[in-house]
Amino acid sequence: MSAPKICMIGSSNIDLIARVPRIPAAGETLFGTHFQLGFGGKGANQAVMAARLGAQVRAVTKVGRDIFGDDTERNYRTNGIDTEFVLRDDTRASGVALINVDDNTGQNSIVVVPGANDALSPADVHTCKAAILASDVLICQLEIPLATILEAFRIAKNEASHIVTILNPAPAAPLPEPLIALTDVLIPNEIEAAMLTGLPSKTPAEAEAAARDLQRRGVRDVVITLGDRGAMLIEGLNAPQYIPAEKVKAVDSTGAGDAFVGSLAYFLGEKRPLIEAVRRAVAIATLSVLKIGTQTSFPYREEVAHLLE
């Protein structure tokens, strides 16, 4: 079986993480206990996960002409991701997330500065049109302009009907109806499903009702991720299917949702049935919570060989 071809159009960030004795008050200066620089952005995370499973991944993203942009491009290459369309912006800095984590409670305070991510434009999408049309799966998130995502999905569905379009609507924002109609698989979590529909989604019946509402607006299939409880799949008109996650003692759940999306894209690129792809993606996302960090917690192909057979 040939390696699936995945095009990721989305965000790249550098995470600047400080451990602190408490979240500082306005105007207060504190000494931190530990600092860590990591690679992030939901788009980058999902691309890395798919690449680690063996997919041929092309990243379409925008960074600044700065050291963080250089590091981001190097990280993509290290993970075997094609960087032809890691574009540079001459006026904006690379995207960053400034994260303070309370040593005692684990609570955090986060400031995200999108920077060059906000400059990834519909015109840039046309620049990388060949990469879209050569892919089996196109994945996007909501950390770049909606107009850019819409143009990418239009190209995929209007010019190459075989491409599976996956939208991870995070962070949640109102979705244009044309974008929903161009989406094959929508992957919100429970909170995002509620925000997208204005409906509650805490119980299984409520989650199904929210998913059906999204289907009525045009999306084909909906997967609602449920954290440590797994996922719920609403495939077409079929009854909902629940895929439980293995019970484990989580060390760090950061990035588990991105591990799920990247894995699902890989398995759909292999032409696996959606229910099978969801089961395998749940298992891989569960493994990711056993290690600290985001991309650093994502397993490599050899670590999950039993899930790739």
Residue positions annotated with a catalytic role: 258
Dist CA 94 CA 65 (whole Å):
8
Sheet with 185-186, edge to edge strand ranges: 86-89, 56-64, 5-9, 137-141, 164-168, 185-186, 221-225, 231-235, 241-243
Show Cβ contacts of residue 158 under 8 Å, excluding neighbours closer than 6 positions.
none
Q: Give burial (CB, 10 Å; 0-12/13-18/19+) of 220.
A: middle
Distance CA 254, CA 75 (A): 19
Helices (H) and strands (E) in the chain, counts: 10, 13
State the DSSP code for 103: T
Three-state DSSP state, 16: strand
